[in-house]
Structure 1
Amino acid sequence: MAELIFYTNPMSRGQIARWMLEETGAPYEQRLVEYGDAMKGPEYRAVNPMGKVPAIVHEGRTVTECAAICAYLAEAFPEAELAPAADERADYYRWLFFAAGPLEQAITNRSMGWEAPADKQRMVGYGQFELAVGVLADWLADRDYVCGTRFTAADVYVGAQVDWGLSFGSLPANPAFEAYAGRLRERAAYSRAKAIDNELIAAAQAANADA
């Protein structure tokens, strides 16, 4: 068995995990999981009982959830220098979990057409969409990356949220987000990961067209 197995579907959040894998430079075995019976079936549920991708199995241990995968891989492959230095830890963990919690919740709820009433905003983890988005934009306005001048694994997850949000309109375009996403899109690992997933998507679309 390969030391590092990557379960994914190219049309999923697996794109985030692949980007992180490419940033580490570690070799991995890709296993594509189709939506439907394969993803919800017993074989894959033995890997992730939630029946969703991505997941990784590294040296026999399973990690799910994109933010956790990013943080885990940064520590598992320290030579890539993607884990936080001592003086970066506060910003690293703060914004990694902010993006995985309040920000994603705010974006998902807005995309589904749901907003917390003013008198219920204390019950949700982000208050209101504009607040969550504005807080992140303000943080990035005068920084190259989440932790300042150095790219870390937190930028893979936070950056994927921003990159996706700008591309599909779930985040408002503003100078801070546009500049941040522009820096990330110039990374070689980002380009490699996108090329792999785009090729897989094109192949799947061609196969469906021929079916």
Structure 2
Amino acid sequence: MTNPRRITLYHAPRTRSSGILTLLEELGADYELRTLDTKAGEQRAPAFLSVNPLGKVPAIVHGDVVVTEQAAIVIYLADLYPEAKLAPALDDPLRGPYLRWLVLYGSAFEPAIVDHAMKRDPGPPAMSPYGSYDAVMEMLTAQLRKGPYLFGKRFTAADILWATALGWTTGFKLVPPNLELLRYVERFRTRSAVARAEAIDERLNRQLDGEIETRTG
């Protein structure tokens, strides 16, 4: 059953919210975009801080429901559109691993790559949320060897979160682009929903660049 209420995505092109845009396209969801110009600081304006006090995208509004944080939004949207079959059902044995890998992204992967990029130690084992950078990357690479997706042949919303993230982290050399990661990202980018989301982001970027030129010209 498709929920009739339109989803509003607060979005900035070519940021973490691009993965949620791709997910909405993959789901065939009814949605509208509220584009934020981060160069102009719109993510810090009171209008958006009332949605997410942290001033971060993505954020979605669905009726009276506000959801922030990438993994939470992925879980919410994939469950909202069960007919798309991007989320294992509650009684599916894959449900637990699916949730694990969604939460692992924000709780372990991002902290690990940020600390690694900043050349910071992870902290004492009892305080570190991820253990070590090498352990995180070895676990991820081992999972992707089961390919073609995170859970073998089954494509899920978790792949949208991870493949989108690995696209920009390998691109910025925050993550070493080993063969498993590169093939995974390349495979993901052949999906039509990815191409549609990238085209939307490109159009939004051109619009925002035009607005900047108008303000400064």
Instruction: State the TM-score, normalized to the length of structure 2.
Output: 0.89
Residue identity in the other structure for 1:173: P
Shift of 1:111: 2.0
- Per the alignment, residue 16 of structure 1 pairs with 19
The 5 Å alignment of 1:45-194 reads 45-85=49-89, 86-116=92-122, 120-194=124-198
> Could you say what secondary structure the match of 2:93 adopts?
helix
Q: Which has the higher helix share?
A: 1
Shift of 1:124: 0.8
CA gap of 1:209–1:113, structure 2 versus 1, over 3 A, is: farther
- Per the alignment, residue 25 of structure 1 pairs with 28
Residue identity in the other structure for 2:37: E
2:37–2:208 contact (8 Å) kept in structure 1:
no
Shift of 1:184: 0.5
- Per the alignment, residue 44 of structure 1 pairs with 48
Residue identity in the other structure for 1:113: K
1:67–1:100 contact (8 Å) kept in structure 2:
yes
> Could you say what secondary structure the match of 1:6 adopts?
strand
CA gap of 1:207–1:34, structure 2 versus 1, over 3 A, is: closer
CA distance in 1 between counterparts of 2:156 and 2:18 reads 17
> Could you say what secondary structure the match of 1:105 adopts?
helix
How many pairs were matched up? 208
> Could you say what secondary structure the match of 1:87 adopts?
coil
Q: Stretches of 4+ moved more than 4 A in 1?
A: none
CA distance in 1 between counterparts of 2:41 and 2:180 reads 41
Residue identity in the other structure for 1:190: V
Deviations 1:170-193 (A, max 9, x none): 111111111111110111111111
> Could you say what secondary structure the match of 1:172 adopts?
coil
Shift of 1:37: 4.9
Shift of 1:71: 1.0
> Could you say what secondary structure the match of 2:67 adopts?
strand
Shift of 1:16: 1.3
Deviations 1:58-81 (A, max 9, x none): 122111111111111000111111
Shift of 1:10: 0.9
> Could you say what secondary structure the match of 1:186 adopts?
coil
RMSD, aligned α-carbons: 1.7
CA distance in 2 between counterparts of 1:128 and 1:30 reads 37
Shift of 1:154: 0.8
Structure 1 gap ranges (5+)? none
